[in-house]
Amino acid sequence: MVAVSESYTIQNYLMQTPPDNEAIRRQAHEQFEFLKYVVAQEGYTTGLRQQRGLMTGAMPHVMFGRNEGGGQHFHSWADKIIETEDQELPALFVNN
Q: Where are the domains of the chain?
A: 16-62, 65-96
Question: pTM for this structure?
Answer: 0.49
pLDDT in tens, 4-24: 667 677 888 887 888 889 988
Give just the sign of the alpha carbon dihedral 30, 41, 14, 80. Answer: negative
Read off the amino acid at residue 29.
Answer: H
Work out the mean pLDDT of the chain and round it to a whole number.
84
pLDDT in tens, 35-54: 889 888 888 888 888 888 88
> In Å, how far from its chain's centre is CA 36?
11
